[in-house]
Amino acid sequence: MTTQIDEVTTLSVMSADGTPIGAHVSGSGRPLVLLHGASSDSSAWRMAAAWLQPHVRVVRVDRRGRGLSGDRSEYTIDAEYDDAVAVVDAAAQAYGGPVDLLGHSHGGNVAFGAALRTKNIRRLVLYEGWPPPNPEHRRFPADLYTTLEELATTRPADMLRVFLRDCAGLSADELAQLEAAPSWPARVATAPTVPREVRAFGHCDFDPGTAAAISVPTMLLVGSASTDEVKADPEIVAAAMPDARIHVLDGQTHMAHLAAPEEFATAVVEFLRD
């Protein structure tokens, strides 16, 4: 079956610190805001969006520093929370009611934080992205941070390889597939944003009380073949949230939206319809 993204328009909002945040919009119905992970931009969702858009209005955000969005010299993850809130609130106003939010990896951590700052989220999907109960799952040796920062400006493609292998837990085969994909040059272009996000993610520890404040129905997506570090104890996270469930993507790892977009989209749509 051949799928494509039709009638793409754009959305632009202003974040709390004055940074413009842009998104690509396609499909119809209740908006589903998508937040990509590190080392990517909104194009990472194109394959999954083709399966999602017959059911929802897909809003693929370019997180700050990429594509349609602006940036600031000083980075804080709190600013990213505000970015996501600005898009969610604008989508909710346009739709006339609460919308859904999905975040992958670092984008999931951003979605988690944003869910505490707006009442305009109806359902929340986090794909292997939330503050880890075991902080060591997101903290890396000091020399790794230094290596990422040095390579980001001198050898960005090599920096991505180090990040995807040593931080995201990709296998050699998965990394080779990413390098062969048409989106690889766009990933290389995101290199300057990666070290700052790795540092920020490493300092977002899990707090059960904070998790308990997210009352919207939430699905934690996990790849059965992901490493324990990437899975980051979803049972502990789900137990702390008032209305959370875990969905395991059988045979998948951290990139199911690329490796198995139809299966990924089906799980998301079924949850949003539940």
pLDDT tens sequence across 61-86:
999 999 999 999 999 999 999 999 99
Q: Are 5 and 49 in contact (CB under 8 A)?
A: yes
pLDDT digits (tens, 9 = 90+) for 185-206: 989 999 999 999 988 887 788 9
Q: Are strands 20-27 and 9-14 parallel, antiparallel or unpaired?
A: antiparallel
b (16+ CB within 10 A) / e for 227-254:
bebbbbbbeebbebbeebeeebbeebbb
What's the pLDDT score for residue 122?
A: 98
pTM (predicted TM-score): 0.93
